[in-house]
């Protein structure tokens, strides 16, 4: 069973539809037992960090998520919430990754929206992807490049486009909106 974390953030439906196209029927849930029983967990999101973390804490999902042992994939806001802290709402996050999330500088157009190249790709999520692959981004905040970084993108300065640690994977971009390349990344995750 593939579980999508329900936490009052947007974009769950587009990830669900992408999985349906791949032949999977995911469960959208905020039930701790269901999340713990899933073979894979996806943590999608479009929204605001403080509100999302409040929901996770109030429903006991913060402790559940950080203790999962199966492959876990955070997308966009999901990735940011996996970091230690976000400038958005001055929010303490899950702390799976030590990186901090910052807002793009005033010199950059916000949000960073559209297709951009991912570089320095490493690890199983990017197996079979050509160098210079373009994927779709929509975000105003970014995680710093750090030791867990498995891909970068440049928007002004480089930022983490992907991160991984143990069974936890995260993508700043939206694989579900990135055409065939994004589909390949989701397939690679589901094969872990």
Annotated catalytic residues are 76, 174, 176
Question: Residue 104 corresponds to which tokens in the numbers above?
Answer: 């793009």
Bridge-based pairing state of the strands 134-139 and 91-92: unpaired
The Cα 52–Cα 8 span in angstroms is 7
The Cα 50–Cα 191 span in angstroms is 32
The secondary element (H helix, E strand) that includes residue 158 is strand 157-165
The Cα 165–Cα 115 span in angstroms is 26
In which residue are the tokens 């199966």 written?
A: 70
Per this entry, what is the length of the chain?
Answer: 192
Q: Are 82 and 163 in contact (CB under 8 A)?
A: yes
Give helix 179-190 / helix 12-21 axis angle, nearest 10°.
Answer: 80
Q: Are 49 and 91 in contact (CB under 8 A)?
A: yes
């Amino acid at each position: 069973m593939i579980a999508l974390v329900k936490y009052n953030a947007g974009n769950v439906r587009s990830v669900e539809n992408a999985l349906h196209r791949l032949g999977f029927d995911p469960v959208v849930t905020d039930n701790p037992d269901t999340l713990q029983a899933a073979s894979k967990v996806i943590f999608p999101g479009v929204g605001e960090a403080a509100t999302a973390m409040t929901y996770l804490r109030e429903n006991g999902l913060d402790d559940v998520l950080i203790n999962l042992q199966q492959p876990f994939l955070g997308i966009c806001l999901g990735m940011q919430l996996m970091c230690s802290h976000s400038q958005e709402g001055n929010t303490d996050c899950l702390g799976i990754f030590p990186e901090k999330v910052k807002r793009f500088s005033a010199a950059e157009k916000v949000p960073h929206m559209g297709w951009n190249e991912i570089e320095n790709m490493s690890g199983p999520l990017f197996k079979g992807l050509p160098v210079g692959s373009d994927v779709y981004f929509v975000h105003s905040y970014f995680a710093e490049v750090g030791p867990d970084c498995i891909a970068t993108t440049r928007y002004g300065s480089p930022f983490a486009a992907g991160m991984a640690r143990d069974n936890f994977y995260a993508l700043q971009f939206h694989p579900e909106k990135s055409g065939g390349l994004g589909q390949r990344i989701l397939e690679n995750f589901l094969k872990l």
